[in-house]
Structure 1
Amino acid sequence: MSAPTPATATVQFRQRERLRAEAAVEPDAPAAGPVTKATQIIAIYGKGGIGKSFTLANLSYMMAQQGKKVLLIGCDPKSDTTSLLFGGKATPTIIETSAKKKLAGEPVAIGDVCFKRDGVFAMELGGPEVGRGCGGRGIIHGFETLEKLGFHEWGFDYVLLDFLGDVVCGGFGLPIARDMCQKVIVVGSNDLQSLYVANNVCRAVEYFRKLGGNVGVAGMVINKDDGTGEAQAFARNAGIPVLASIPAHEDIRRKSAAYEIIGKPDGPWGPLFVQLATHVAEAPPVRPVPQSQDELLALFSSDAVGRDVVLEPATVFDMMGSTEVTKPSLEVIYDAA
């Protein structure tokens, strides 16, 4: 291949310099004021089993009782987001309904996939069975179906999206990557794994901010709070507020297990969810400060996370049970001309 001409080399050099200059420009800070769009679209992320569905079912119920028009969308392949809202009853998912309607040659209608209770509208995207497809691709397909149903024209005050946070494929990061929501809320507890997931979500938000995205983190909900303080410390270090601390209380556990809504204005836990609803509505999206692995470990005592362990390198003898033998390299070495 012939060498580039001086003119071509000059053009390539200028292109590289322009790209370097663009990459060095820091993105604008996220909006610090209240969200001005008519509909607030909020994505909630967290470790599987941490209590996202519990939090969202009760939050959406409380918002509806306050006169807000709320849509709850489950984006977890387990399709359990709406179960608590509907007393344990499963709803047809968008993906399975879409497949059945397609086979029958019929279009999907709103009433096929969206259901309501006491002012809360809810639906499940669903996902493939184990080993039969990509959950992230199912999320993308589900949102494509929602767009065909007129998602962007629906007149809701709040749309709450329930996402699994410990799956890293692109479909689950859709709201952050494509600016489909204005802000993100993370749900965590006082354990390392849930905070690791919360931190990964903060990393994703920061990554897409650097690419020109506009999504920020509105705050953290601490679920099953036992008062040990690790989640509070994480939120403080990450620069995000704590929107609510839901205690590790037997009454909450028992009622949640029985698919009972506790976020009712006249119930004993009503004030907690009134506070959460207010904070969720008013909290501005902020740019988080993701933590390193060592910074996460530092939130916990060394006997809890094993920080006193010293990494000991393995040897060839460990692997083969014999003395290490240095084999000659097959690399061809040319003498200097």
Structure 2
Amino acid sequence: MTLDQPIRPERDLIDCSEAIDDDVAAKKETQIIAIYGKGGIGKSFTLSNLSYMMAQQGKRVLLLGCDPKSDTTSLLFGGKACPTIIETSSKKKLAGDEVRIEDVCFKRDGVFAMELGGPEVGRGCGGRGIIHGFETLEKLGFHDWGFDYVLLDFLGDVVCGGFGLPIARDLCQKVIVVGSNDMQSLYVANNVCSAVDYFSKLGGNVGVAGMVVNKDDGTGEAAAFAEAVGIPVLAAIPADEDIRRKSANYQIIGKPGTPWAPLFEQLSENVSTAPPIPPKPLEQDELLGLFSPEDTGGNVTLQPASQEDMHGRPIPQKKSLEVIYEELPA
């Protein structure tokens, strides 16, 4: 399979054909799930804990960081940075060598993880780096790997072609958005829904499986957004000091037997079973309507500016050269 060929849609995830006998289990296809959200909203926190829990449940999971910041795997590996595919590829190319899987893929307690990386600040397009990273993955045999789940951690800026790649080219079956009860994160989540809606109208098969509400303070705007666009809330992770402190210290909280284990066990189940849904993205005024006008400035009205405003002084009226004919009496 090439990057220009769509993967099989969600409805074909289970292939029960060609069974040899009753003892042969149905073959499962890999679920490739792209997670999007505003920078700093907690995608990496959510995915590192989710992937860890999935692995403890016996699932084969690949966590793939697709954010140029390359911070997806940091929490999984206790703050240690992985060599990125793009950086390693450049060094290997200069040395005349090929990238090997052991150069860029690392594992912890059953979770396999890689970082695509990106260009240095101000020295290239992050989206183009994503495309180059996927081309390298394909050479490494990405489409032949035997994982149950591949989780892609993407920046929410899907207006850039590289970051919208999984949606535009059907490289995943479904999308999950991470947001909170604030306007900016829901604005990004709505943009992701708009991208999914746009490409579905062009024949795409990707849908939105749902939303993870992170740092939930109970005010309800994120849940209201999910309901408005027609997607479920897969989990609500509370704004809790214990979570904040442990995450800041690169600790995994989604371990079996810990106080937060039930939350991530349920999230794992929901992520596994949630179908891809065509979302109904909101208009800007509808998005503002989820919040109190006092919180967003939604009660502000647009006042047109005049030439006097632009010049900062009165503007004398110029005499018109238009010829005006008096109307003759009937």
Q: Distance in 2 between matches of 1:264 and 1:181?
A: 27
Find the counterpart in structure 2 of residue 199 from structure 1: 190
1:196-223 Cα shifts (integer Å, max 9, x gaps): 0000000000000000000000000000
- Asked if 1:59 is matched to 2:59, the reply is no
Ranges in structure 1 where 5+ consecutive residues have no aligned partner: 1-30, 330-337
Find the counterpart in structure 1 of residue 142 from structure 2: 151
- Asked if 1:83 is matched to 2:74, the reply is yes
Q: Specify the SS of the correspondent of 1:285.
A: coil
Q: Distance in 2 between matches of 1:197 and 1:42?
A: 18
Task: Output the TM-score relative to the length of structure 2.
Answer: 0.88
Q: Distance in 2 between matches of 1:260 and 1:217?
A: 29
Q: Distance in 1 between matches of 2:316 and 2:66?
A: 54
Deviation at 1:97, TM superposition (A): 0.0
The answer (yes or no) to whether the contact 1:238–1:291 under 8 Å persists in 2 is yes
1:21-62 Cα shifts (integer Å, max 9, x gaps): xxxxxxxxxx78584361000000000000000000000000
Task: Output the TM-score relative to the length of structure 1.
Answer: 0.86
Find the counterpart in structure 2 of residue 301 from structure 1: 292
1:41 partner letter? I
Aligned 1:29-108 pairs, distance under 5 A: 35-36=13-14, 38-108=29-99
Find the counterpart in structure 1 of residue 301 from structure 2: 310
1:73 partner letter? L
1:109-165 Cα shifts (integer Å, max 9, x gaps): 000000000000000000011100000000000000000000000000000000000
1:69-127 Cα shifts (integer Å, max 9, x gaps): 00000000000000000000001000000000000000000000000000000000000
Q: Among all aligned residue pairs of Structure 1 and Structure 2, give the percentage whose two residues are the same amino acid.
A: 79
The answer (yes or no) to whether the contact 1:226–1:248 under 8 Å persists in 2 is yes
Q: 1:328 to 1:271 in 2, by over 3 A?
A: farther
1:164-205 Cα shifts (integer Å, max 9, x gaps): 003521000000000000000000000000000000000000
Q: Distance in 1 between matches of 2:12 and 2:316?
A: 67
Deviation at 1:292, TM superposition (A): 0.7
Ranges in structure 2 where 5+ consecutive residues have no aligned partner: 1-8, 15-27, 321-330
Q: 1:34 to 1:264 in 2, by over 3 A?
A: farther
Backbone CA RMSD of aligned residues: 1.6
The answer (yes or no) to whether the contact 2:178–2:189 under 8 Å persists in 1 is yes
- Asked if 1:123 is matched to 2:117, the reply is no
Count residues with an aligned counterpart: 300
Deviation at 1:326, TM superposition (A): 6.1
Q: Distance in 2 between matches of 1:88 and 1:80?
A: 9
2:130 partner letter? I
Q: Distance in 1 between matches of 2:12 and 2:257?
A: 29
Q: Specify the SS of the correspondent of 2:291.
A: coil
Deviation at 1:321, TM superposition (A): 2.3
The answer (yes or no) to whether the contact 1:35–1:182 under 8 Å persists in 2 is no
Aligned 1:5-44 pairs, distance under 5 A: 35-36=13-14, 38-44=29-35
Find the counterpart in structure 1 of residue 271 from structure 2: 280
2:167 partner letter? I
The answer (yes or no) to whether the contact 1:34–1:282 under 8 Å persists in 2 is no
- Asked if 1:134 is matched to 2:95, the reply is no
- Asked if 1:319 is matched to 2:310, the reply is yes
2:258 to 245, 254, 267: 267
The answer (yes or no) to whether the contact 1:35–1:284 under 8 Å persists in 2 is no
2:162 to 138, 158, 171: 171
Q: Specify the SS of the correspondent of 1:163.
A: strand
